[in-house]
């Protein structure tokens, strides 16, 4: 139950535009098979995969650089959802979440690279 509460808080409480990026990349990624199945156009699916990669990279950049307090608010929301005090150590502290942002940037670049590679 605590995890669902955290997901709800992250979906509504993260600062903009990081919240928009966090919603855009999974929706575009999940639309790729649907669009490809409906239209049969490979380039359209690859374009969506590339856009999902761009949005994932941007989201990771906002988290990694803690722009507009994205990583700080994520850490704060995690601790609040678990009932922990702000001073208490968890693995969801800001440096760990910044590392997750870096991994998101790498994943986004991988998706973008895959879209470009398969388009050629």
- Asked if residue 70 lies in contact with residue 62, where contact means CB atoms within 8 angstroms, the answer is yes
Condensed to tens digits (0 to 9), the pLDDT of residues 67-106 reads 999 999 988 888 888 888 888 877 788 999 999 999 999 9
Q: Which of 55, 62, 69, 53 is nearest to 13 (CA)?
A: 69
The model's confidence at residue 59, banded by pLDDT at 50, 70 and 90, is: very high
Q: How many CB atoms lie within 10 A of CB 113?
A: 12
Per domain, the residue ranges of the chain are 20-119
Report the b/e string of 23-38 with b at 16+ CB within 10 A: ebbeebbebbeeebee
């Amino acid at each position: 139950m605590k995890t669902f509460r955290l997901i709800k808080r992250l979906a509504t409480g993260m600062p903009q535009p990081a919240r928009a990026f966090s919603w855009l990349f999974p929706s575009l990624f999940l639309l790729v098979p649907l669009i490809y199945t409906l239209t049969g156009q490979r380039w359209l699916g690859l374009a969506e995969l590339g856009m999902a990669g761009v949005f994932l990279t941007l989201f990771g950049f906002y988290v990694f650089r803690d722009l507009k307090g994205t990583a700080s608010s994520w850490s704060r929301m995690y601790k609040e959802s678990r009932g922990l005090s702000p001073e208490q150590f968890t693995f969801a502290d800001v440096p760990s979440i910044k590392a997750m942002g870096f991994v998101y940037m790498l994943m986004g670049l991988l998706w973008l690279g895959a879209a470009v590679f398969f388009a050629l």
